[in-house]
């Protein structure tokens, strides 16, 4: 049975690779002022549209080239990571807390609480999410907080649906009945017995949601609705790269590759964690 033993090892490699990439980007973002070779905002028209280091015409110190205003692409991507990761952690955590709490209550208590929560989820699911996000940011005004609030307001349903379904199936298990016979209150049972068993799904979803938050932030800054236009964001750099794609492809390619790997890593990291926690798969 070589196949069954090879499988967990493949999962581990997935966990390490994705976790490693995320850690690398996170560290670069945290220590951006130390790591980035240039000021991400400094414009220099003499250095406009420099190609990356291996091409002719590259300048030392501008490893990934520059954009149409002569700003260093590498430094801008590193600083963009700060915003991407702030949004990822804050928005995903907020969505997770709200969605999981409502899902847990709806799935465990059922009854009218479930009916109300499910109806709200139905309404939320009838909105095109990207349009909803753009609308919310336009209403709240651009800025980091607005972006985080908008993503949390839209994506709590993702947690709510999964946690509700899991809490419902866990509530039918014998151990819940045993706890009730042992004299525990319903609220205690929900927190002490049901929640820990739903947690692996929540953790996997949290990682996935961070990737989604990074994408939504990129989309918002792509349509110029994220934070102020001065601060470099991945979506903002991509929007500029989309415009100058025929003159300077690198302005689109490098932030796109970074975004691609980050989103892929978040989802693979979540899947890997889930596989590791899941007693059946383990």
Partner 1 sequence: MPQLGPNKMILQCLLIRLFTMAVTLFGVAVVVFVVIRIAPGDPIAMMLPPGASDADIARLRALYGLDKSLIEQFFIWLAGVLRGDFGMSISLRQDVLGLVMNRLPATLELSIMALLLALAIGLPLAIIGARERGTAVEAGIDVANGAALSIPDFLWGLVLILIFGVLMPVFEISGRVSPQLELPFVTQFYLIESILRLRFDLTKDLIGHMFMPALALALPLAAIIAQLLKQSLKELLSLDYVVLARVKGFSETQVILREALKNAALPTLTLVGVQFTFLIGGTVIVERLFSYEGLGNMAIDAVINRDLPLIQGIVLVFALIFVLINLAVDMTYALLNPRLRHG
| Contact present, 73 and 67 (Cβ < 8 Å) | yes
Q: Which one of residues 225, 227, 237, 251 is an interface residue with partner 1 (CB under 8 A)?
A: 225
Q: Which of these segments, 63-71, 161-169, 173-181, 259-267, binds partner 1 (CB under 8 A)?
A: 259-267
Evaluate the CA torsion angle 220, 161, 167, 105 in order and state its sign.
positive
Cα 64 to the center of its chain, rounded Å:
25
CB 129 to partner 1: min, Å: 6
Comparing CA positions, the residue from 203, 209, 235 lying closest to residue 222 is 235
Q: Which one of residues 12, 245, 278, 281 is an interface residue with partner 1 (CB under 8 A)?
A: 245
Is residue 77 a contact residue for partner 1 (CB under 8 A)? no
Residues 67, 50: Cα–Cα separation, whole Å? 7
Comparing CA positions, the residue from 235, 221, 236, 234 lying closest to residue 143 is 221
Is residue 260 a contact residue for partner 1 (CB under 8 A)? yes
φ/ψ of 36, rounded to 5, equals: -75, 135
Q: Which one of residues 1, 2, 34, 131 is an interface residue with partner 1 (CB under 8 A)?
A: 131
Strand locations in 20-155 (E)? none
Residue 176 or residue 212: which is nearer to partner 1 going by CB? 212
| Contact present, 237 and 80 (Cβ < 8 Å) | yes
CB 33 to partner 1: min, Å: 29
Comparing CA positions, the residue from 104, 98, 88 lying closest to residue 196 is 104
Residue 54 or residue 182: which is nearer to partner 1 going by CB? 54
Q: Which one of residues 190, 215, 251, 273 is an interface residue with partner 1 (CB under 8 A)?
A: 215
Q: Which one of residues 122, 177, 188, 278 is an interface residue with partner 1 (CB under 8 A)?
A: 122
Which residues lie near partner 1 (CB under 8 A)?
Answer: 119-120, 122-123, 125-132, 134-136, 138-139, 141, 211-212, 215, 218-219, 222-225, 238, 242, 245-246, 249, 252-253, 256, 259-260, 263-264, 267-268
């Amino acid at each position: 049975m070589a196949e069954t033993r090879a499988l967990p090892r493949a999962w581990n490699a997935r966990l390490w690779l994705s976790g490693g990439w995320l850690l690398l980007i996170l560290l670069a973002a945290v220590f951006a002022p130390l790591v980035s070779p240039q000021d991400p905002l400094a414009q220099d028209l003499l250095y406009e549209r420099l190609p990356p280091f291996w091409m002719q015409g590259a300048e030392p110190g501008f490893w990934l080239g520059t954009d149409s205003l002569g700003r260093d692409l590498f430094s801008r991507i590193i600083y963009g990571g700060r915003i991407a990761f702030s949004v990822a952690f804050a928005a995903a955590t907020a969505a997770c807390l709200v969605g999981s709490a409502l899902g847990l209550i709806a799935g465990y208590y059922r009854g009218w609480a479930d009916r109300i929560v499910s109806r709200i989820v139905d309404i939320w699911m009838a909105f095109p999410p990207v349009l909803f996000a753009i609308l919310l940011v336009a209403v709240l005004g651009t800025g980091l907080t607005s972006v985080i609030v908008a993503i949390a307001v839209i994506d709590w349903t993702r947690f709510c649906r999964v946690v509700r379904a899991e809490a419902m199936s866990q509530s039918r298990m014998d151990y819940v009945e045993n706890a009730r016979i042992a004299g525990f209150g319903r609220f205690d049972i929900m927190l002490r017995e049901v929640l820990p068993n739903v947690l692996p799904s929540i953790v996997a979803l949290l990682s996935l949601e961070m990737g989604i938050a990074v994408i939504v932030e990129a989309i918002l800054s792509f349509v110029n609705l994220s934070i102020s236009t001065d601060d470099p964001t991945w979506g903002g750099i991509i929007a500029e790269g989309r415009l100058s794609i025929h003159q300077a492809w690198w302005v689109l390619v490098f932030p796109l590759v970074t975004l691609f790997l980050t989103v892929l890593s978040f989802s693979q990291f979540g899947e890997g964690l889930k596989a590791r926690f899941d007693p059946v798969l383990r």
